[in-house]
Structures are given as C-alpha cells and as structure tokens.
Amino acid sequence: MDMATVGYIACALVIFLLAIRVPIAFAIGGVAVAAIFIVFAFRTGTFMPERAIRTTLSLAFSSAFDLVHSYDLSMIPLFIALGHVAYRAGITTEIYEAARVWLVRLPGGVAIASVAGCGGFSAISGSSIACASTMGRICTPEMLRLNYDPRLATASVAAGGTLGSLIPPSVLFIIYGIFTESSISQLFLAGFLPGILSLLGYALVIILWVRRSPEIAPVPTEVFSTRQKLAAAVAAWPAVLLFILVLGGIYGGFFTATEAAALSLMFATLLGIARRKIRVTDVIPLIRETMGTTGAIFLIAACAKIFVALIALTGLSNSLVGLLNAANVGPGSFILMVCVIYLVLGMFLDPVGIIVLTLPLMIPMVENYDMNLIWFGVVVVKLLEIGLITPPVGLNVFVLASVLEEKVEIGKIFAGLWRFLGIDLVVLALLILVPAISLFLPTSMY
C-alpha cells in the first residue's frame, strides 16, 4: 500500500473517531501511533511487527518529548495562571467597572462596557473560554439586574469572550507559532489590530441593536460624577500596566513573550497578596486550576506532534499539494476552502483541537501558495474565534450558560449571537482582503 494512502486513511479514521465523540487527544494520538506502526511493519514489503515496535515508540516519544520541552510552550501555563490570579486579585473586575462607569448612560452602555471588559481581560489571560467564564460572572448578572434583554446580556459577553483568541496574549497564537515555527511575538502583535477591530465591531452591533429596539437595554438612573469616573479609570491601572508589560515590552524589544508572561504573573500575584485578596492558602487551588487546563492542552498538543510525524513519514502533505496543483486551485479558492473547513469544524470541535488537527495539513499548502504565515495565523485564529459562538457546539455559549447556572436558556443566547456572527464575517473578510491590518505592527517592529 502506498504510504500516502495510509495517511489519508489515518485522517479519515481520526474524523470518524471525533464524530463519535472520542476525545481528540486519544483519537489523534492513537491513530497516529497505529499508522506509524503499520508503516514501519510493512517497510520491507513483509509484515514484521517485531521490527516496528521499537521504532514506533521511539518516534512517538521523541516527537512528544520535543514538544513538551519547548521553551515557548512554557508561556501557556504562565498566561493561564495570570488569568486566574488577575480574577482573584480583582484586576478583571476593575476593568469592567471603569468601562461601566464611563459608558453606563449610553444606550446599551453596560453591554458595551462588558465587551470592553472582555477585551481588557483578553489582554491579560489569553484564553477565550476563561474570558467568557470570568466576565460572565461579573457582567451578565449586572445586565440582568438592570432589566437588559437576556439575549443582549448573554450574547454580548459570549461574543466579547472570543476576543481572548485574538487580542494578545493568545494561547492559540502560541500553539500556532510552535507548530509553524513562526515568531510568537510577531503573532501577538499581528493579532492586536484585528482584535481591536472585532471589539469595535461588537460595540457597533450593540449600538445599532439598541437604537432599533430601545426596550432591550433600559438606561440606568444612576449618574456618576467626573470625580467618580476619574477614580474608576485610575483604579484600573494594574490592568493597564499588565497590558504594557506584555505588548509594550514585546513591541519595544525589552523582553520576550515568555519573559513578559512571567513578569506579569509575578506582578499580579504580588499585587493580589498586597491587597489581601490572595492568601498563601490560595496558591495551591490556583496551581491546581492552571495544571488542569494546561494538562489538557499539552496532552492534545503532544498527540498532535505525533500526528505531524506520521504526516511527514507518509508524505501526505506533499500529496495534497500535488492534488491542489493538478486541480489548478487558485489562492482565492484555497482561502475560501480554508474558511469553509474551519467554520464547519468550529461547529463541533474546540479551537485547540482544530488547530492541532489541521495545521500539519494546511501549512505545506499555504507555503505552496507563498502566503505569509503570520497573516494566515490571524485568519485561522479569527475563524476559530467565530467557531466559539457558532451553533450547535459554541463552547463560549455553553460555558456562559453553566456559569449562569442555566438562568438563561442556551437557545436565547444563540438567538442574540447572529448579529455578532454577522460582524465577525465582515471583519474576517477585511482581514483576508487587507493583510496590512494584521501585518502593520509586526513589520514595523523589525
């Protein structure tokens, strides 16, 4: 059997296992190890399993070992821990409060403040799901208390939570950079302007929605003085400092993304202790929460690295490039195909699973079309961001529903999200048609 055929069969088997809800790490890792074993066992034309066992285990373990011991991968637990610490220290609440005080009198102002708060939290944590979970506890109950329509109160937070995928730091950018050997610092910078564009788009959706239906967002009666507004803005200084440490430090060339993560975590922890919001006894639960999330990501990534070894062994990527060339598929048609694939996968799989499953196959084709990997990374992450709020399995929607203890039906959350999905598609089109939006900051850095 041709080795490329083994690769195609392995990919089809992975898709089947995922369809029957086998965890992605086990599906990718199990199929990859089995397929590698088959390739080595039939290497001489005769089935010789005794020769394949040691070689298969050596390749699988070395692939996983190299990934887990990657220096860049250490950013993931650091940024995840930073998100947990920032919430415990009250930093994320201060972001939302500052935005709420300044915007409360505007139509839909509290919803806009929620989106702004999500953007601020995203600039600290790097995780969309953590953003939706945390801000869902802070923002949505407040909007429901003010008699906001449940669709607006939940959809604004679910959509705003996706900004954690795009606004740096981003766990997805870290994984993308490791698998494509791209500069993670450049990816962080590339995601900043698209993230701000998405944030402004969400705010525009809220404004237009409330103008058309004012009853969905009653204007609160409370009025804040100029002194109170300034006090709220000043109180948010820790979040501003963290953002400067991460993005300003990287952009200024003062330290690497990993060093920025470590410094930010140390600062947030010391601030929480100084404020007496974090005690020594809280450290173990924080570490446990971080280890749970990090362990799941690392397991998926390690299994995906074994799958990458299988693709290289079978020559599957070269076969796919040859098929594209034979079919005369142009760059525009290829990007359209990529969008369709990611949008469909986003309806059923989590973003980390999608990115580690698809990148080994996508990147050789991207390089074949001589596309910029940094720009392509932003497009992919934006597509994954859309998948977080796309039915039937929009992870941010289910996370938000669980945080609210199902006080708002999942159907109502999805009902309010179609407007945000519409603006997401507009932003996606702009990112594809105008690569300068993504590449301006990375190119200006060097």
Which pLDDT does position 104 carry in this prediction? 76
Q: What is the pLDDT of residues 177-195, one digit of tens each?
A: 988 888 888 998 899 999 9
Distance of CA 238 to the CA centre of its chain: 23
Output the six-digit token pair for 78: 């650091």
Which pLDDT does position 368 carry in this prediction? 86
**Tens digit of pLDDT per residue, the chain (446 long)?**
577 788 888 888 988 888 888 888 899 889 999 988 888 887 766 777 777 788 888 888 888 887 777 777 888 888 888 888 888 888 878 888 888 888 877 788 888 988 888 888 877 777 777 788 888 888 888 888 888 899 998 999 989 888 888 888 888 998 899 888 888 889 988 999 999 999 999 999 999 999 999 888 887 777 778 788 888 888 888 888 888 877 777 777 777 778 888 888 888 888 888 888 888 788 888 888 888 888 888 888 888 888 888 888 888 877 888 877 787 888 889 999 999 999 888 887 888 888 888 888 888 889 888 899 999 999 999 999 998 888 877 788 888 888 787 678 888 888 889 999 999 999 999 999 999 999 998 887 65
Are 143 and 100 within 8 A, CB to CB?
A: no
Q: Is 278 in a helix, a strand, or coil?
A: coil
This prediction's pTM: 0.87
Residue 144 burial class via C-beta count within 10 angstroms: exposed 0-12, middle 13-18, buried 19 and up? middle
According to DSSP H, which parts of 213-315 are helical? 226-235, 237-243, 249-251, 257-274, 283-314
Distance CA(350)–CA(355), nearest Å, equals 9
Which pLDDT does position 200 carry in this prediction? 93
Q: What is the pLDDT of residues 154-181, one digit of tens each?
A: 999 989 888 888 888 888 998 899 888 8
SS3 of the chain: CCHHHHHHHHHHHHHHHHHCCCCHHHHHHHHHHHHHHHHHHCCCCCCCHHHHHHHHHHHHHHHHHHHHCCCHHHHHHHHHHHHHHHHHCCHHHHHHHHHHHHHCCCCCHHHHHHHHHHHHHHHHHCCHHHHHHHHHHHHHHHHHHCCCCHHHHHHHHHHHHHHHHCCCCCHHHHHHHHHHCCCHHHHHHHHHHHHHHHHHHHHHHHHHHHHHCHHHCCCCCCCCCHHHHHHHHHHCHHHHHHHHHHHHHHHCCCCCHHHHHHHHHHHHHHHHHHCCCCCHHHHHHHHHHHHHHHHHHHHHHHHHHHHHHHHHHHCHHHHHHHHHHHHCCCHHHHHHHHHHHHHHHHCCCCHHHHHHHHHHHHHHHHHHCCCCHHHHHHHHHHHHHHHCCCCCCCHHHHHHHHHCCCCCCHHHHHHHHHHHHHHHHHHHHHHHHCCHHHHHHHHHHC
* Strand residue runs (E) in 143-201: none
What's the Cα-to-Cα distance from 157 to each of 128, 192, 337, 359, rounded to whole Å? 11, 19, 30, 29
Which pLDDT does position 445 carry in this prediction? 67
Which pLDDT does position 65 carry in this prediction? 81
